[in-house]
Amino acid sequence: MKARSNKPSPALTIAVFTLLEARRNRLLWLILALLVAGFGLAEFIGEVAITETRQYQSGFLGSLLRASAVFMISLFVITTVVREFNDKGLELVLSLPVARASYYLGKLLGFSAVALLTAFLCGLCLLLYAPAGQVALWSLSLACELLLITALSLLCLFTFNQVTLALSAVMAFYVLARTIVALQLIGRSPLMDSGTFSQEFINTFIEALAFLLPSLHRFADSEWLIYHTGTAADFGPVIVQTAVYMGLLAGAGLFDLYRKHL
């Protein structure tokens, strides 16, 4: 009988090297610095708030950590892969008997592990200002949000091949997905002149965007930290959307990687 090979899969090896890259880039220290700065600002907010001090602190800190985590993860993913492109690291890996799918999966796994660690550390900081159950729900939801940002960052980089364009596309997608519900409410306002063709066209366009984009307003909701209203039922749509959009983004990113001429 043929002996079973104990060698790890190429995807796992690439994922481990991605984690080592995060350590070399001092990403953990940057996250810890963010947590310390956020804690200091939250304490300052608590000193100037007259009432509902904990609510102000938890809401402010949650919003700050969420936005900062999204920016850091997207920037780390994009700059790391761009450096590999420039150093011919990708060409070196693919010159070995490694499929492009294994490379992509390894990168996605490694970056996803960094995203999960970031969400966990953000949750630990919020335990100072909100109940553990609400923080756990918020942290899991943030982890799902960061997973989507990870897959989106890889897709945008493989598509545009530039840091500026890729990061701008990720941020535009994130802001639009976060605010699309507000745009829908504005469009449906009775104060708007809904009889004109231009207004109907804009409303239809916004509705189409809302149908295509993930409902990121459901992810890491600050209301859970402020008023403790989060339940397990709120996490269901988050999981479903994460699974659907992760599949779509990963598939599109893998397609872009396979069509690249290296």
pLDDT digits (tens, 9 = 90+) for 133-166: 999 999 999 999 999 999 999 999 999 888 999 9
The encoded tokens of residue 221 equal: 């909701």
Gap between the Cα atoms of 193 and 189, Å rounded: 9
Report whether pLDDT(107) > 60.
yes
Asked if 225 and 62 count as a contact pair (C-beta separation under 8 A), the reply is yes
Q: How far is CA 36 from the centre of its chain?
A: 21
User: What is the residue whose two structure tokens read 């796992």?
Assistant: 12
What is the mean predicted confidence (pLDDT) over 228-244?
A: 93
Q: Identify whether 3 is part of a domain.
A: no
Q: Name the residue among 72, 78, 143 with its Cα closest to residue 113.
A: 143
Q: Between 189 and 226, name the one with better pLDDT.
A: 226
Total structural domains in the chain?
Answer: 1
What is the mean predicted confidence (pLDDT) over 210-234?
A: 91
Q: Name the residue among 252, 80, 227, 65 with its Cα closest to residue 151.
A: 252
Gap between the Cα atoms of 89 and 210, Å rounded: 38
Q: Identify whether 4 is part of a domain.
A: no
The encoded tokens of residue 239 equal: 């999981």
Q: Identify whether 223 is part of a domain.
A: yes
Residues 6+ apart with CB under 8 A from 55: 226, 227
Gap between the Cα atoms of 154 and 170, Å rounded: 10
Q: Identify whether 63 is part of a domain.
A: yes
Q: Please state the pTM of the whole predicted model.
A: 0.92
Gap between the Cα atoms of 204 and 106, Å rounded: 40
Q: Identify whether 1 is part of a domain.
A: no
Identify the weakest region by mean pLDDT among 88-102, 118-132, 142-156: 88-102
Q: Identify whether 5 is part of a domain.
A: no
pLDDT for residue 112: 96
The count of other CB atoms within 10 Å of the CB of residue 87 is 10
Q: Identify whether 68 is part of a domain.
A: yes
What is the mean predicted confidence (pLDDT) over 170-186?
A: 91
User: What is the residue whose two structure tokens read 């700059």?
Assistant: 79
Q: Identify whether 16 is part of a domain.
A: yes
pLDDT bucket at 193, cuts 50 / 70 / 90 = low
Give the domain range for residue 44. 10-259
User: What are the CA-CA distances from residue 191 to residues 195, 199, 205 (Å)?
Assistant: 12, 12, 19
Gap between the Cα atoms of 217 and 66, Å rounded: 12
pLDDT for residue 91: 74
Asked if 45 and 134 count as a contact pair (C-beta separation under 8 A), the reply is no
